[in-house]
Structure 1
Amino acid sequence: MGKIVVVENLTLDGVMQSPGTEDDTRGGFTRGGWATPYADPALAETMGKGVAADNGMLFGRRTYEIMERSWGGRTDDNPFTAVLERKQKYVVSRSLDKPSWVNSTPVSDLAELSRIEEDLVVLGSGELVRSLAVAGLVDQYVLVLHPLTLGQGMTLFGDLEVTLTLEETVVTGKGVIIAFYRRRSAA
């Protein structure tokens, strides 16, 4: 099995729900799109390096569907469009049998991940990330910490105990801290 890297946008109070869109209103969440005002060239450059890397992508069903609606089948000149179209995408879901986005493969459970040899990057997909953390399958977390609190919304770790070792940080001009952590243990 390849390495699994989780990339998450978070507020300072740990909220990860709907950072770029208003698509996820579960639990009455009304503050979607909170990360958008913090975009800047330093953030785009750092995240772009990760997206351009030679790896597959791993999604939970909800995030996959949001990403497919936003990026699937686009023909614009955004550099991420071509990268996302050509990458192999895996979707962990018990209800999505035939994903429609090009280069997408369904994965019915975490045990199937052991057969995937390439490195995988997980974007969003909070429920999946928590399951991966409990199973001890996350090798690295890239936490994109935005300088705001929301006071509501789903958090990344919830009641999980995860111990991390900081490897590197990048601070953007808008105060976003991109922290690269290696997992030490999970409980």
Structure 2
Amino acid sequence: MGLIHIDLFTTLDGVAQAPGGPEEDPKGGFEFGGWQAPLFDDVVGEQIDSGMEGMDALLLGRRTYDIFASYWPHQDGGIAQLFNHIPKYVASRQSLNPEWEGTSQLGPDVVASLRELRNKHENIHVIGSLDFVQTLFAERLFDQLNLWVYPILLGRGKKVFAGGVVPSNLRLIEPVVASPKGAVMQRYALVEGTPGVGDMSAGE
């Protein structure tokens, strides 16, 4: 069965809204669209490239899909070649008339649709798509969470964990690496069970 990877860029206080550009998602009057750009460096670029090895499908929310579909089909080489070649799946409540070749819309039953995708693909990546990601968190419909945490605080904006998560255990699957500009990459696997509790004073 294939794996669903969630790839997100977030600030230290958990804001993941519109990292790529000012017009990406100004909802709620968000004023910091494009906050990732000044902090992007070659190390992060290499981490992203290596993390996409083996990717054979993209799974996106509607807003992120529209942004990607307006940009990547007009690019060549590298990530563009990969994105343009592999199947794209879109989670949207509204009807979709896709112009990006290889695009399909998920059915209304997200759980059933994702089960089908896992049977068809080995490594499905969800990039951005913050609203859709809340559904994946709430339903535990992911296998790996890849976070790039940046050393800034924004306060306002859509958060990675916006209240839709359920108590879950994660396992760090590779050493944490910081880039020269301070972005910290963390890769986690979802594991079974719920967080345990204890009493720190028990040993006193």
- The normalised TM-score by structure 2 is 0.84
State the distance in 2 between where 1:96 and 1:138 align.
Answer: 25
User: Which residues of structure 2 form unaligned runs of 5+?
Assistant: 196-204
Alignment RMSD (CA, Å) = 1.8
Secondary structure in 2 aligned to 1:183? strand
Aligned to 1:30: 31
Aligned to 1:82: 81
Change (3 A) 1:57 1:87: same
Amino acid in the other structure paired with 1:115: E
Secondary structure in 2 aligned to 1:105? strand
CA contact (8 A) 2:60 2:127 kept: yes
Alignment of 1:8-157 (within 5 A): 8-22=8-22, 23-71=24-72, 73-76=73-76, 78-109=77-108, 110=110, 111-116=112-117, 117=119, 118=121, 119-157=123-161
Deviation at 1:182, TM superposition (A): 1.2
Deviation at 1:186, TM superposition (A): 7.1
Amino acid in the other structure paired with 1:167: I
Q: Equivalent pairs: percent with the same residue?
A: 33
Higher strand proportion: 1
Larger Rg: 2
Deviations 1:32-88 (A, max 9, x none): 0000111111111110112342320100111100111221x2144x52221111121
Change (3 A) 1:37 1:108: same
Q: Does 1:183 align with 2:168?
A: no
Change (3 A) 1:152 1:48: same
User: Which residues of structure 1 form unaligned runs of 5+?
Assistant: none
